[in-house]
Each structure stands twice: as C-alpha cells, then as structure tokens.
Structure 1
Amino acid sequence: MHTHLIWLIGYSIAQLALGAWISRRVKTSSDFFVAGRALGPGLLFSTMLAANIGAGSTVGATGLGYRDGFSAIWWVLSAGIGSLLLAFWIGPAIRRVAAEHDLRTVGDYLELRYGVTVRTLISGLLWVGSVFILAGQLIAVSWILNVIAGVPKTLGCILAGVLITVYFASGGLLTSAYVNVVQLIVKLVGFAIAIPFALSASGGWDALRAFTPTETYWNPWQGGESGLVYLAMLGPAFVVSPGLLQKVYGARDDRTVRIGVGFNALALILYAAVPVLLGMMARVQFPDLPQSELALPTLLVQGVPAAVGALGLAAVFSAELSAADAVLFILTTSLSQDFYKRFRNPGASDAQLLRVTRFTAVIAGAAGVGIALVAAGVVSALSIFYTIMGVSLFVPILAGLYSTRTRSADALAAIIAGIAVVGGWRLLLDGKPINGITAPMGGLIAAIVAFLVVHLVGRARGGDINSGGRPPHTERN
C-alpha cells in the first residue's frame, strides 16, 4: 500500500511542476479565463474530456455499478448525450456570442441577454451548487487515500483541497488545458490496462455475467436507484454547465467546438460502461464493502497486481484533479468576474483581476473542503450541483440563444419555478419520485412551463420583448 501512496505523491508533484512551468505563459486575464480564445480541437477535446471524467464518472459511477448493476451506465451515458447537443447545437452559437462581445463567463452572457438581475441570481445559485461538485471530487480523493494508507476522510479532504487549489491557481484555463492532456493520457492508459486484470481476477466474463445479486442487476434501463432517470438530471447539465461553456469560449472557431466537444461526447459514450463494469467486478471480489464508493479504490489496491493498481489509481487521481480544477474554474471566475469586477471594481486591471481570482481559488477550495467533510458521498454531492444547474440554466440559455423575444421576466420565472419545485420536492418528498417523475424532471418541466406562461402573458400585454438585455448574435463566422 505504501508503494501506491509513493506513486501518487510523485505523480502529484509532477503535475504541480508542470502546472507551474506552463503558468509562466499566463500574462493576462484573457489567458486565465478563456486561454486567449486560441484552443484548437485537440486541446479543447482533452480539457473537456478530462473535466468530464471526474469523481462522478470514476469513483461515483463505479459505486453505483457496485450497488445497482448495469443500469448505472446512464450516469456517464447521459453526460455523453448532453455533450453531443453542446457540440453541434449550443456550443458553436454561444462561442460566437462570446467572441463578439468578449464574454468570459456564463454570467457575462446572461447579463448581455437578460440584464444584471438574472446574472446575479444565477451566479449566486451556481456558486453554491459548484461548491458541492468540488466537494465530490475531494471526497473521491479521500476514499483513495483511505484505502491506500488508512488516511481519515477529514485529513484526506484537506490534503486534496490544498493540492487542487495550488495546482489550479497557478494558471487557470491555459494551464489546465495542457495539464489535462497528461491527465487524460494517464486515465485512458490506466483504465485500459486495469480492466482485463480486474476481469480475470473476477473469474472472467462468463462468471461476471452469471453474477446476479438482484433481479435487476443486469437491466440496462432500471436497477435499484439507477437507470434512465439520470438523463433528466445529467443531460441538461452537460449542455449548459458554466465550466464547460467557458472552455467553449476558449475555442478559436466553430469547427473547433464541433470537433473537440463532439469527440469528447463520443469518448464519454464509449467509456460509459467502464466504471459500471469495474463496480460489478468489485462486488464479485468484495461483496461486503461498508461503502459502495470504496469499490474502485479497493479493487485497484487489492483486486489487481500492484503495478497495475498503481497505474489505475493514478488514472483515478487524474480524474478527480482534472474535474476539480474545472469546478474551481467556475467558482473563481464567477466570484472575480461576476461579482468583483461587475459590482466592486468595474475598472479592475488585468493584474488586479488575476490577484482576486487566485485569492478566490483559496476561498473556494476551503469551502469545498467544508462541504466534503459533512457530505455523505460523491454521488449525493454531485447530484445537488447537476440538479441546480439543469433546472436553472437550461431554459434561459437555450431561449436566449435562439429567440430575440425572450425577456428578463421570462428567464427569472423559469429559474425561480425550477429551483422552487426541486427544493419543495426534496423538502416534502425527500427527493423520491412520483409515478416515475423525479425531482430534476419536475423542476425542468416547471421551468419550461413558467417560462412559456410568463412569456405569453408578456407578449399579450405588449411588453418590451428584450427588457434588461440585448438580442442574441448567432450569425456564423
């Protein structure tokens, strides 16, 4: 086990060194926020996929596969489907708007389109929600350290928070894009090597296929709490995620978005079964784990040869770090751009903005550690973020991009209705579905209905069709 820990420490130091070296190229806030709008297809693909294969799609999805079986495939598959929509529909359109108006955050877009009230409301909601997804990454790292060296969850979360904050604060998107290439290679190689060894240790494919601890364990649509229901929670979130949209802002042209994000979507779809099968293999070998999210680190430490396990753990560790820096990207740019520059110091220089951004990275990292210490697990923390993001952002962003007739009041109605329904659902029903309708589904439906009702009422009264914002610009370059 100490061998695994030494490998992870060495790997972490190497990533910090690489980040520090690349950060020397970060000269302006544009470099930090949108990588100078110069990312090509390869870098966009690697930074998108590295961010998307994080704690949820490794430790979390493996835990779901361990607990519920093959239906857990929808956790990552839903992200792939959402990414397809981003690649060929939303991404190119919003990139053009961002480039035309020098937008750096999703908050910038929302103010351009709807006004400052919508920007402020969404920025606040997403800051709270993003802390939960950061906490999910930290919890995943703590599970790894716990299995390897018996490190308590509290200490593991603190160590992970320090590492991730230092690594990200050095250079923002530009640094992340290059470091993500290395992380992605480690992930792909690590999982590719670990799978056949884990399958062999589980008795081979025939033994795994015959393993049926529950009647629905091999049902691809529904099993336990997993299944197609994830599509409503995760699909919209991966279309409008602020962290992913800001990476799209960094693309040099529309072709880059279609290729980079499109191949990211394809890779997610192909990868979707990997963590689920690993979780099922872990259950064959270790059927009595006290926490299902320990399945992946336990399998890699105890269920495969040491060298293979070390490479696999490096892959998982890469996944958590790359996803965490994507979340810190959301949190820091939101605080520095959407609040500090917008309200506190509109005339802030590049140097001031970079200082504030790096300082807020420390604040965000500390907040993530605090949530991680009290959250139940990776999936529970991530579910809060994805739900908030989907029900609050999906309708306003789509409507604002493709209609000049939407108003600030329409967007506010959608945001408030979606959040209110989800909050009430969780408070009164403990988040349990009603006749197959889940809280994210209900919130998304409420947001659409509220948007349409307020929009139609406003048009009937002859209100200003674009009060509080400016019309979208989606013409092609």
Structure 2
Amino acid sequence: MAAAPVGYLLLIIVYSVAQIALGLWVARRVRGARDFFVAGRALGPGLLFATLLAANIGGGSTIGATGLGYRDGLAAWWWVGSAAIGSVILAAWVGPRMWRVAAAHDLRTVGDFLEWRYDHRVRATVALLLWIGTVAILAGQLIGIAWVLNVVIGLPKIAGCVIGAGVVTAYFGAGGLKSSAVVNVVQLSVKVLGFAIALPLALAAVGGLDGLRAAIPDAASWNPWESGRSGWMYVAMLTPAFIVSPGLLQKVYGARDPRAVRIGVGLNALGLFLYALVPTLLGMAARALDPGLPNHELALPMLFMHDVPFWVGALGLAAVFSAEVSAADAILFMLATSLSQDLYKRFVNPAATDRQILVVARAASIAGGLLGVFVALLSRTIVDALSIFYTLLGVSLFVPIVAGLFLRRPRALDALAAIAGGVAVMIAAQAWNSGRPIGAFTPAMCGLSGAVIAFALTFLAGGRAPSSRPAPARS
C-alpha cells in the first residue's frame, strides 16, 4: 500500500470515529422519544438548514451526480436541480402547513399524519411501501462509501458497505434526530469546504472551461436539457420525492416554528441550486482527465485520488464520505420511525412506553443497516438504487399528502386508490419498455399521472366523507 492511500485511509478513519463520538455525546441529552424523533421541536432555521442540506447532498448528489456528469455531460445538472425545485415547494407551501398540523396534534412521523388525515389502512400501506423503497436508497449511500474505500485501498464492495453501515448506525441509533442534526453541521462544513476547493483545481487541471470544451467536443455533452439518460425528465422522478420524503418532512417536524421551516428549507433549496453544477463539472473534468473508466461512478473518487494535490484530495474524499454518511443517517431515520411508530406502536403495542419505542427504533436502525448492505450488493450503481426509491416515493406518497393538506375532505379510499393506481401504472410502464421512456413519458411520469387520475376519479365519484377532518388552517 502506497503512502498516499494510507494517508487517505487514516483521515477517513479519524473522521468516522469523530462523527460517532460526537453523535454519542449528543445522545446523552436525549430524554425520550420526542427528542429522538423530532428533536424536541426546537430546531432553528440554521440547524434545520444544515441537517436538510447535509441529508440532501448524499451519495446520489456526489458520486452519483458526478458519474452522470462523466457519462452524460451538462444535463446531469437536473439530478440535483430537480431536488432543489422540490425543496422550494416544500419551503413555500407544504412544509409550513405540515408543521402546523404536526405541532397541533403531536405528530412525529408522516404515518401519523396519514392516519390523522385518512385512517390506519393508509398509514400501514405507506409504511410497508416505504420500507421497501427506503432500504434501496440506503443501499445507494452504502455503495457510495464502498466506491470511496475501493479506490483508496482496493477494499471489496461488501466490506465497504459493512463499514459504512456500521458508522451510520452507531451514531444515529444512539440519539436519533437530535444526534444527527448536530453531526450534520460538521458534515456539511466538510462538504462545502471540500467541494469549494476541489472544483476550481479540477477545472484548472484541464485548462479551465475552454480546455474542458476542447477535451469534450461533442455537442450532446453540452446540451443542458437532455443527454444520454440525463435531463429534464428527472423532474418527474425527483421533484415530488423531495416535497413529500418522510426523511425530510420529519426533519421539518423538528423545527421551532413555521418561520424556521420557511427559512431553513428555503436556504436548503438555495444551497442545492448553487451546488447542482458542482458535481456536473467535476464529472466532466474527470472525463477529460481519466477517460475510459470501467464504472462512471468511480469518477469522483478517482479525481480526488489522482488529479488534485494530496491535501485537496484528502479533504474531498472526506467530503464525499461525509455526504454518504449524512444521507444514510436520514434514511435510517425514516426506517426507524416507520417501524417503531407506524407499525409497532400503532398495530403491535399501542400502550408502548417511550423506552419501548426507543428500543424498537434502535433495533430497526440496525436491521435497516443490514438490509441496506444486502440490497447494495445486488445493485450495480448508486443511481440504479436511488431511482427505485425516488420513483416509488413520488408515485405512492405525493398525491395522498398534497391532497390531505390542501383539499377539504379526501377519503381513505381516495388515498388508497392513488397509491394503488400510481404504483400499478409505474410498474407496468417499467416492464413495458425495460425502464426506458415510453415516448416522452418516463415510468415516474406515468405512475404520477396514474396516481392523480385514480385519486380524481375516486374522489369525484364518492363525494366527501362527512367524518373526514377539515383541511388544516393556513395560520
């Protein structure tokens, strides 16, 4: 093993131990389930911004998006840009409205909201679907960690996934949202510093934008709308998911007030818009410097290992590792809350104490980590794994949540019809053309359209349920 790889490895080890130590230290202040799940509803705009942006700049937004930039060029911007669009909608409309409902009725999970608005059947259906999809997105983050360790020291994929799962589970399982929110501040700082330094140096290595254009002369790579399998079509898959993702909404639940939601989520959206071009250009620079990589998702680790000075590469790899870990802890948050609150407390042990719920939540985070490792070994790339989650999330959850927030009297039957219609149409579209678009419509677009149509038909045919709760007040 060369000296440089040893240095990279030591930095990653020290950084991982520091994250676990900080998470365990914060966990000492966790007094019960309210602290674990919603951080005591005490997150101000700054802490909410940090924990959201740290979660959103994960494996898909670093290694995955850089790989898309390497393969498809400028159109890869839409992978992160679509998330930013969804975050604007979350900040301006959905987030503050959802916070008011959650605070008024002590809701701790998205499942709590679905049962409050509809009934237990909707809650159980969504909880089961989310467990399937969420394990897939966790697998995507673990693959990112594995690629970093593979490039640094040649570690096999399975070993890298196990190490990543261990680090995340250790600090999240101890303190939940309270721990992860504090650790996320450190992770976000490392990411911002690492990428801010790495991008200009990587561009300088290829001779600036003029040199990059000369090295990649084909016009398709410079088309910002569509190239290869990247482009504006990501809006249909990613924008709805970033409006209704339980991992993000449950962080919103932890905000201090609606103002903290608007500012914190809004700053997160601004950060994503500013960041969206960074992995795209890094991927294109890596294509110019390291053409012919066997796997396009190795572009970012290879760039940091071989194409920038050691100290920049070390900081960049720490930033990437930080991105994977911070996103993975948000995913464990979804798994833990879904199993402990939406399934265990609601259906298995309604009289469960705070202590029992915490035990189940921590056990769920361990089980989720193990399942994530298993799915990671079956998935080829980060984007493959994440696409499963984002598509399933958008077609199953977007319509029930938005309708529940903004319509007067939607019924449980309407929500179940939307879920069934969206998932069925999405699966049919996926099978019809092997996941490729049918004309201009991707499987995600087809599924979302199916959900809207199924909801509308059932809603209009059935009328209003007199026992349903009224739409939440605006203020």
TM-score normalized with structure 1 length: 0.97
Most deviating of 231-240 and 401-410: 401-410
1:287 aligns with 2:291: yes
Aligned residues of 1:97 and 1:472 also touching (Cα < 8 A): no
Q: Distance in 2 between matches of 1:386 and 1:471?
A: 29
1:181 aligns with 2:185: yes
**Contiguous gaps of at least 5 residues in structure 2:** none
Aligned residues of 1:82 and 1:235 also touching (Cα < 8 A): yes
Q: Distance in 2 between matches of 1:15 and 1:466?
A: 51
1:449 aligns with 2:430: no
Report Cα offsets for 1:216-261 as digits up to 9, x if no partner. 1000001101000000100000000000000000011100000000
Shift of 1:159: 1.1
Q: Distance in 2 between matches of 1:55 and 1:228?
A: 20
Q: Distance in 2 between matches of 1:118 and 1:471?
A: 17
Q: Distance in 2 between matches of 1:283 and 1:203?
A: 13
Match of 1:277 among 276, 281, 284: 281
1:471 aligns with 2:474: no
Match of 1:160 among 154, 161, 164: 164
Q: Distance in 1 between matches of 2:134 and 2:473?
A: 28
Shift of 1:212: 2.7
Aligned equivalent of 1:265: 269
Letter paired with 1:122: V
Match of 2:388 among 359, 384, 387: 384
1:118 aligns with 2:122: yes
Match of 2:426 among 410, 422, 425: 422
Specify the SS of the correspondent of 1:171.
Answer: helix
Most deviating of 430-439 and 331-340: 430-439
Aligned residues of 1:94 and 1:474 also touching (Cα < 8 A): no
Letter paired with 1:245: L
Q: Distance in 2 between matches of 1:359 and 1:449?
A: 39
Letter paired with 1:369: V
Matching of residues 159-238 of structure 1 within 5 Å: 159-212=163-216, 214-238=218-242
Aligned equivalent of 2:403: 399
Letter paired with 2:304: L
Report Cα offsets for 1:175-209 as digits up to 9, x if no partner. 11111000000000010111121112222221012
Aligned residues of 2:409 and 2:469 also touching (Cα < 8 A): no
Percentage of identical aligned residues: 60
Aligned equivalent of 2:357: 353
Aligned residues of 2:59 and 2:327 also touching (Cα < 8 A): yes
Match of 2:305 among 290, 301, 305: 301
What RMSD, in angstroms, separates the aligned Cα atoms of the two structures?
A: 1.0
Shift of 1:317: 0.7
Aligned equivalent of 1:77: 81
Most deviating of 189-198 and 290-299: 189-198
Letter paired with 2:314: A
Aligned residues of 1:114 and 1:466 also touching (Cα < 8 A): no
Specify the SS of the correspondent of 1:434.
Answer: coil
Report Cα offsets for 1:246-277 as digits up to 9, x if no partner. 00000111000000000000110011000000
Match of 2:327 among 323, 330, 335: 323
Aligned equivalent of 1:45: 49
Q: Distance in 2 between matches of 1:217 and 1:405?
A: 48
Report Cα offsets for 1:154-192 as digits up to 9, x if no partner. 111111111111121010000111110000000000101
Q: Distance in 1 between matches of 2:54 and 2:459?
A: 38
Specify the SS of the correspondent of 1:322.
Answer: helix
1:28 aligns with 2:32: yes
Specify the SS of the correspondent of 1:216.
Answer: helix
Report Cα offsets for 1:412-435 as digits up to 9, x if no partner. 111100000111111232111112
Q: Distance in 1 between matches of 2:331 and 2:219?
A: 37
Aligned equivalent of 1:96: 100
Report Cα offsets for 1:285-341 as digits up to 9, x if no partner. 100100000000000011101110000011111110110000000001000000110
Shift of 1:465: 1.8
Letter paired with 1:433: P
